[in-house]
Structure 1
């Protein structure tokens, strides 16, 4: 690493450093009307090996940049053993390390942070760096490169426009783009989609059901089993461990609503699902990242019968053996339509956001375009040989 004059990089050590790491975005995004403060307790849990089961198969360094003793940036550098075991064609393989949680006040701090993350990865034997991943593909992957004038929806990132140039100046090139699509869900879908849905409703082999929250663990295992099969060939896919599934289920349970998650069954066999979440960011924005002393009570009250403008579809999957078939598309359109109806009727929603969707996922892109949605944000994952 070539030292950057005036910038000191040091690892997070102790509670004060952890608070500085978590709190930095409040300073950097103070003038950005589209930034939504994350819940600080969630971010602390993300970087805590005692709480986040991702650390069961990964290790990370968390670094701070200071100028004259003042924190001016942060970054993580991480190695995931499951990524190292992935096929190279899917974006992993031996020697692939990641970095993420990147925030910087200026170009000098950015350069020093990226160089420090690369040094850490090299010292661990890595030969290629990819990022940002904060911390994994299942958290907040990619850098926002288009759509800075849109506030992020739940579980999506938001970044300063200057970051793209700073990362590219460090020698990084795009590896994959991830897009989100938005649409007006207050109006019916095009006639073609309505005909496809109506045809499916006449097919006695097909059943589209709501999830049963009283059997939450069983249903969660079912959905994630379909997900692991459906996404297994996707670029960047890393299977969730049992511990991660349990952890995700515990976090998601308060914001899961039965009529917003559908399972598609064919001749009694579950073969597809679609998960939709109310945009939690609309409900937490005014909490300024704090659940205590009163934020938690406010959020629980709001979640009793959430009324939101936007619904986000973060996960959707069809078992691999049915992919690229007309039946798969039909099931997708049926689940989307049923959830659209309930989102409007029960939650007051008028807008949907689908994604993220990989740039080469032609099936999902076709579905998004058929229901007349359009790209509203693009997140880019970068790579560089070390």
Structure 2
């Protein structure tokens, strides 16, 4: 039945983008585990002039209004780099995406998804993936397990009923992502200690901290390893120069030298691990605003964070070493050194690793050996248009 009071319209103005962001605050206000993003960051994500991803992508945002009140939103978007990738890696020719879905009810969610699909069809797309908000490097997937605790920095959080809404719109799961948690105050199992001790005796191996005074140079080293290590992964899309610049600006304030490690073998960088203090713990009480006192609180926190949780968003080992004993050894050494620093210098007691693809057996094996448990599960859906 058509709702005569409902309108769905494409948006582009600054005021509309603000309404797009504000809706999430209203619809999630009753969820104690939803972390309000900083509104400036959320606006930057959907503003082409502020997000380097738009240098190789296009998007259309939609607002749904009922009787003049904003009641829903969605994005439809196409990554032109993703279109060039092999289909077996998740994207490929004719694949578009939608994301940032928020809706007051099931029927509206279906209408918004249909609107995004129609835009994608008009651009020649034949398959839709969602939710992906906006890039796969941002917040891919829908939370389907782990609603009982807040997400860590750069991870999504959704209400449980969204799963049924999306699946009843004709979508099925194409890929599952996991995050793992562990108590980092506890020593790892003895086998890990033996592997780490063996690595420490190997003169060919060096595990070093990054040098923040050489931020750009260190970032290039990590990116080079990342591009090699992740190039065959499902959903991998290379980061472009504009995106790298944006990531550097966003992450530099929460980069701490002892929490990011590069592993060298015979002097060659071959692996890395990035760990971030959970910024969500600091921003959650701010309700999206740095004013009037949020700036001071965040700046004070950034001087030397004291956090409960550390998140590992990215690890990588060059492809030629993957599936080798050396790769596992390097990973365990980096994890252990960062674990020690996290507890000793930042007061952390909990670690979170991920997201990790369901079929990434190497990383899942490492998570198992250090006795992690799955704490959140995300699904990426697909549908033929």
TM-score in terms of structure 2 length: 0.99
Structure-2 separation of matches of 1:271 and 1:50: 35
Deviation of 1:30 after TM superposition, in Å, equals 1.1
SS in 1 for 2:224: helix
Is residue 2:123 matched to residue 1:124?
A: yes
Superposed, 1:30-109 pairs within 5 Å as: 30-109=29-108
Superposed, 1:140-219 pairs within 5 Å as: 140-219=139-218
Aligned to 1:372: 371
Q: What's the CA shift string for 1:3-60, capped at 9, x where partnerless?
A: 6654311112422211110111111111111011001000111111111111110000
Q: Which one is further off, 12-21 or 84-93?
A: 12-21
Structure-2 separation of matches of 1:195 and 1:4: 66
Q: Which one is further off, 326-335 or 17-26?
A: 17-26
Q: Could you say what the CA RMSD is over the residues aligned between the two structures, in angstroms?
A: 1.0
**Distance change >3 Å, CA 57–CA 13, structure 1 → 2:** closer
Structure-2 separation of matches of 1:92 and 1:6: 37
Aligned to 2:226: 227
Q: Is the 8 Å Cα contact of residues 73 and 110 (structure 1) preserved in structure 2?
A: yes
Is residue 2:335 matched to residue 1:336?
A: yes
Aligned to 2:306: 307
Deviation of 1:70 after TM superposition, in Å, equals 1.1
Structure-1 separation of matches of 2:377 and 2:233: 18
SS in 1 for 2:157: coil
Structure-2 separation of matches of 1:324 and 1:160: 37
Structure-2 separation of matches of 1:22 and 1:54: 19
Give 5+ residue unaligned stretches, structure 2.
none
Q: What's the CA shift string for 1:59-114, capped at 9, x where partnerless?
A: 00000111112111110000110110010000111110000011111112101100
Q: Is the 8 Å Cα contact of residues 7 and 109 (structure 1) preserved in structure 2?
A: no
Deviation of 1:250 after TM superposition, in Å, equals 1.1
The count of residues paired between Structure 1 and Structure 2 equals: 385
Superposed, 1:132-143 pairs within 5 Å as: 132-143=131-142
Structure-1 separation of matches of 2:290 and 2:222: 29
Structure-2 separation of matches of 1:22 and 1:166: 21
**Distance change >3 Å, CA 198–CA 149, structure 1 → 2:** same
Aligned to 2:111: 112
Deviation of 1:225 after TM superposition, in Å, equals 0.9
SS in 1 for 2:81: helix
Structure-1 separation of matches of 2:4 and 2:313: 42
Deviation of 1:287 after TM superposition, in Å, equals 1.0
Q: Is the 8 Å Cα contact of residues 231 and 237 (structure 1) preserved in structure 2?
A: yes
Structure-1 separation of matches of 2:291 and 2:249: 19
Structure-1 separation of matches of 2:211 and 2:95: 40
Structure-1 separation of matches of 2:4 and 2:187: 58
Q: Is the 8 Å Cα contact of residues 3 and 112 (structure 1) preserved in structure 2?
A: no
SS in 1 for 2:154: coil
Deviation of 1:365 after TM superposition, in Å, equals 0.3
Structure-1 separation of matches of 2:224 and 2:241: 11
Give 5+ residue unaligned stretches, structure 1.
none
Structure-2 separation of matches of 1:334 and 1:312: 17
Deviation of 1:295 after TM superposition, in Å, equals 1.3
Deviation of 1:291 after TM superposition, in Å, equals 1.6
Superposed, 1:221-370 pairs within 5 Å as: 221-370=220-369
Deviation of 1:293 after TM superposition, in Å, equals 3.3
